[in-house]
């Protein structure tokens, strides 16, 4: 049964961080938060039922649901898509009176925000653009089932009772072939492809998501016969001769051949062999999804072409309708937007685990990270950045030092100046912090911020020696907050005459930073930081 919970301020903060509502003012968000109900559903509970007249829209706060449709032939259920955190359903019932077109069922325990039609119409009087947002949400429904017409074999892949029987133990062993074929870079790329393709398949064809995940992990094992130099050159977009290109055209067939001894994997992942075709209509559904994810990440990922997200998406969209299925391209766009907004539950859970581990490893570093977060947010709030940028600032500041998990405690908490060798080890934490999140799909922007928080305006920082505006903007903000926290909190290497860790006063800390300012900090940001310190620390 549906049960109501206390909505409270958490509802408004959740709405403000949701891409659907980013552009709304605080007063409008407050009005919406007052109208919505926070509701819970048990595992396996039907939230809406196909054929019934609907009167409510739901926005998922926690958990996942399946969207199901009954067939005309035998009334079996087909799974159109899966929805997760920050995704909504039932929007059309707010706009027109019509029966629900599908059943929505909770997979596990689900918490959602519910907005009734009556309350929606009341909000519409002051916010007519809300209807446009609901229409926009409806336009994102891109399940592949609706494009299959009478293809019985393909429709069977959407059945809710379709079994999955592949063994993850087999996958772990075969994944080592990626390292043999193209090194750790290939293994990381294939991991990213598998994760992104699975998320896309949850929108497009959920019952195929695990096979697509396996295929993403294994689709490049056919490169094992190619020279390593050639693999690296192709991955980074270098020119290939016609003979070399022919070799790459065969890698997907080679991957299928390698899988032949394992009958289950070979039968389930046969579609890998079609990924080299020039038209998506010649590929099974699974290959259509995997092809888009693979090509996008070859363009955008750190170990490949390193194009921007916008450039990579534009390149994929150029092939929509010929090389790529337009519905699959739409699913990619939706996923990229979700990941860029850092609202995907799995991402947030990974971050929470890292922060928890950091607290257990070294409570000082954890508290320092929270201090850096607070000062960073003061700066960006003064600058008036949008909600998405503010969220990136908050999360990257909380995570910027998690790489210190890898640093030995004797170095981390040394009550003295570090030796040159020890300091070199300590300096690896920025890159290690970034590397922890490099394999989480869509985290490239956050990774860049975390990696660069010890770069200096004059180019004399680490780990990459970036300078000026080549340093990500939010990393430049964090550099100010990081130094401020280091100076104003007690440090074990800065002992007083009583042998206790000491800190500098705000006045002294600001004076030190003013001396450092020329060359260390962004000259446009430092005056803003100074004014915050003057108003909130010195005058107080």
* Number of separate domains in the chain: 3
pLDDT tens digits for range 178-204: 888 888 888 888 988 998 999 899 989
**Is 151 part of a structural domain of the chain?**
no
**Is 333 part of a structural domain of the chain?**
yes
Angstrom CA distances, 213 to 79, 269, 293, 346, 468, stand at 18, 10, 11, 16, 40
Res 447 pLDDT > 50: yes
Considering the domain architecture, whether residues 321 and 352 belong to the same structural domain is answered as: no
- Give every CB contact of residue 431 below 8 A, 6+ residues apart in sequence: 403, 451, 463
Q: Which residues of 233-248 are buried (b: 16+ CB within 10 A; e: fewer)?
A: ebbeeeeeeeebeebb
Residue 75 DSSP label: -
Considering the domain architecture, whether residues 401 and 476 belong to the same structural domain is answered as: yes
Q: What are phi and psi of 154, to 5 degrees?
A: -70, -40
Kindly report the pTM of this predicted structure.
0.70
Considering the domain architecture, whether residues 246 and 385 belong to the same structural domain is answered as: no
**Is 414 part of a structural domain of the chain?**
yes
d(C-alpha 222, C-alpha 240), whole Å: 18
Angstrom CA distances, 528 to 381, 475, 480, 510, stand at 11, 15, 10, 13
Question: Hey, what are 418's tokens?
Answer: 């570090």
Contact (Cβ atoms closer than 8 angstroms) between residue 106 and residue 41 = yes
What 3-state class would DSSP assign to 324?
strand
**Is 54 part of a structural domain of the chain?**
yes
Least confident of 208-212, 271-275, 498-502: 498-502
Question: 5 pLDDT band (50/70/90 cuts)?
Answer: very low
**Is 150 part of a structural domain of the chain?**
no
Considering the domain architecture, whether residues 503 and 525 belong to the same structural domain is answered as: yes
**Is 146 part of a structural domain of the chain?**
no
Residue 75 is predicted with a pLDDT of 74
Considering the domain architecture, whether residues 107 and 247 belong to the same structural domain is answered as: no
> What range does the domain containing 260 cover?
160-340
d(C-alpha 248, C-alpha 71), whole Å: 42
Res 8 pLDDT > 80: no
**Is 148 part of a structural domain of the chain?**
no
pLDDT tens digits for range 454-488: 999 999 999 999 999 999 999 999 999 999 998 99
Task: Name the CA radius of gyration of the chain, rounded.
Answer: 26
């Amino acid at each position: 049964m549906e049960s109501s919970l206390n909505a409270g301020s958490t509802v408004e903060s959740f709405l403000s961080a949701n891409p659907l509502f980013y552009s709304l003012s605080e007063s409008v968000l407050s009005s919406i938060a007052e109208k919505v109900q926070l509701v819970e559903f048990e595992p396996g509970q039907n939230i809406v039922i196909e054929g019934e007249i609907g009167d409510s829209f739901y926005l998922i706060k926690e958990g996942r649901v399946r969207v199901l449709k009954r067939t005309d032939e035998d009334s079996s259920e087909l799974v159109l898509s899966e929805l997760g955190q920050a995704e909504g359903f039932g929007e059309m019932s707010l706009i027109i009176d019509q029966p629900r077109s599908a059943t929505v069922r909770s997979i596990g325990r689900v918490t959602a925000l519910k907005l009734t039609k009556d309350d929606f119409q009341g909000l519409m009087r002051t916010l007519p653009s809300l209807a446009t947002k609901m229409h926009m949400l409806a336009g994102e429904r891109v399940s592949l089932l609706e494009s299959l017409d009478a293809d019985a074999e393909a429709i069977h892949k959407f059945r809710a009772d379709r079994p999955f029987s592949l063994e993850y133990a087999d996958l772990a062993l075969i994944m080592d072939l990626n390292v043999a074929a193209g090194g750790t870079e290939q293994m990381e790329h294939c991991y990213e492809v598998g994760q992104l393709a699975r998320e896309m398949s949850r929108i497009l064809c959920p019952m195929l998501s695990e096979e697509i995940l396996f295929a993403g992990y294994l689709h490049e094992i056919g490169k094992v016969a190619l020279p390593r130099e050639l693999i690296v050159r192709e991955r980074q977009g270098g020119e290939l001769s016609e003979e070399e290109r022919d070799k790459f055209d065969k890698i997907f067939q080679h991957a299928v051949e390698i899988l032949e001894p394992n009958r289950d994997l070979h039968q389930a992942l046969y579609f890998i062999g079609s990924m080299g075709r020039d038209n998506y209509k010649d590929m099974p559904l699974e290959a259509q999804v995997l092809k888009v994810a693979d090509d996008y990440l070859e363009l955008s990922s750190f170990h490949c072409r390193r194009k921007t997200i916008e450039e990579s998406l534009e390149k994929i969209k150029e092939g929509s309708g010929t090389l790529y299925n337009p519905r699959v391209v739409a699913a990619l766009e939706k996923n990229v937007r979700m990941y860029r907004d850092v609202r995907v539950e799995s991402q947030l859970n990974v971050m929470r685990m890292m922060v928890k581990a950091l607290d257990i490893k070294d409570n000082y570093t954890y508290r320092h990270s929270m201090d850096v977060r607070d000062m960073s947010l003061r700066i960006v709030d003064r600058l008036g950045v949008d909600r998405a940028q503010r969220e990136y600032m908050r999360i990257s500041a909380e995570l910027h030092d998690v790489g210190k998990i890898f640093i030995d405690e004797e170095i981390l908490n040394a009550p003295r100046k570090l030796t040159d060798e020890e300091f070199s080890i300590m300096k690896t934490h920025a890159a290690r912090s970034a590397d922890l999140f490099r394999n989480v799909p869509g985290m490239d922007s956050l990774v860049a911020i975390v990696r660069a928080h010890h770069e200096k305006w004059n180019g004399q920082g680490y780990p990459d020696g970036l300078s000026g505006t080549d340093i990500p903007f939010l990393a430049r903000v964090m550099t100010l907050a990081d130094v401020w926290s280091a100076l104003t909190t007690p440090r074990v290497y800065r002992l007083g005459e009583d042998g206790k860790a000491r800190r500098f006063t705000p006045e002294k800390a600001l004076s030190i930073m003013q001396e450092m300012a020329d060359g260390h900090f962004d000259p446009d940001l430092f005056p803003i930081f100074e004014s915050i310190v003057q108003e909130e620390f010195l005058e107080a």
